[in-house]
Structure 1
Amino acid sequence: MLITKLTYQCCANFPSDERFGLTSQMRRAAVSIPSNIAEGAGRGSAKDFSQFLSVATGSAYELETQFILAADFGYIREEQLQVVTAELSELQRMLYGFQKSLQPEN
């Protein structure tokens, strides 16, 4: 949820001509992360939950790429990029670990 909030805050300062471009893509990816975690948690099996965690992880990597682009375009400061990418890296690690914990042991 923190990453979604940070994304919306950062995107609020983007140029208005990015409203339907990068802003829209970033907000969708950011909302997708907690949404997929929540939907997966509501499923009846670990296998289903793991699949939704995989989608959330993909959205986290997508958002990270979009933040790097936003910094390259000069829409956010380097300090903002560092804060968000640190949060995203931690989330990616947590999602990976959680997904691994759901896999059956052989």
Structure 2
Amino acid sequence: MAEHFEDLRAWQTARALTNAVYECTNKGAFFEDFGLRDQVQRAAVSVMSNIAEGFESRTQSQFIHYLGQAKASAGEVRCQLYVAKDQEYLSEAKFDRLHDRAEKVSRQLYRLIQHLDESDDTSRIRELPADYLT
């Protein structure tokens, strides 16, 4: 059972995504593109923030709502990564790593939302089994 939002694997993946986004946006031509840089950074931060905010709400319906917002932000990150790749701010390998991480958190969020939707126990937020990792 997850006691804190930091215990959730989706939040941990979102944190890793955010750190990776900041690492590649804070240098080179990507750094000079203020609009795209700020937007992709905000979207990445939004993924982890919405997971935390929803978890802290401690109601299942609100948690599911915030997880949906986090999933939407993960999609926004993926979209912006294509823009960065098309502008040649990211190598193919860096794009693939970031995109894969954003897609992983999106899958984790989808599975967590499914789990919560199917769960009869609304009194506590619970962690998912191992298949939630992928």
Tell me if TM exceeds 0.5.
yes
- Equivalenced residues, count: 105
Aligned residue number for residue 18 of structure 1? 33
Deviations 1:27-85 (A, max 9, x none): 10010011000000001311100000000000000000001110100001000000011
Aligned residue number for residue 46 of structure 1? 60
* Residue number among 100, 105, 110 corresponding to 1:86 in the alignment: 100
Aligned residue number for residue 5 of structure 1? 19
> 5+ unaligned residues in a row in structure 2: which ranges?
1-14, 121-134
Root-mean-square deviation over aligned CA pairs:
1.5
Deviation, 1:105, is 5.7
Tell me the percent identity.
30
> 5+ unaligned residues in a row in structure 1: which ranges?
none
| Equivalent position amino acid for 2:61 in 1 | K
* TM-score, L = length of structure 2: 0.74
Cα gap change, 1:62 to 1:14, in 2 (>3 Å): farther
SS in 2 for 1:42: helix
Deviation, 1:90, is 1.1
Work out the CA distance in 2 between the residues paired with 1:44 and 1:12.
35
Work out the CA distance in 1 between the residues paired with 2:97 and 2:119.
36
Greater CA drift, 96-105 or 76-85: 96-105
| Equivalent position amino acid for 1:57 in 2 | K
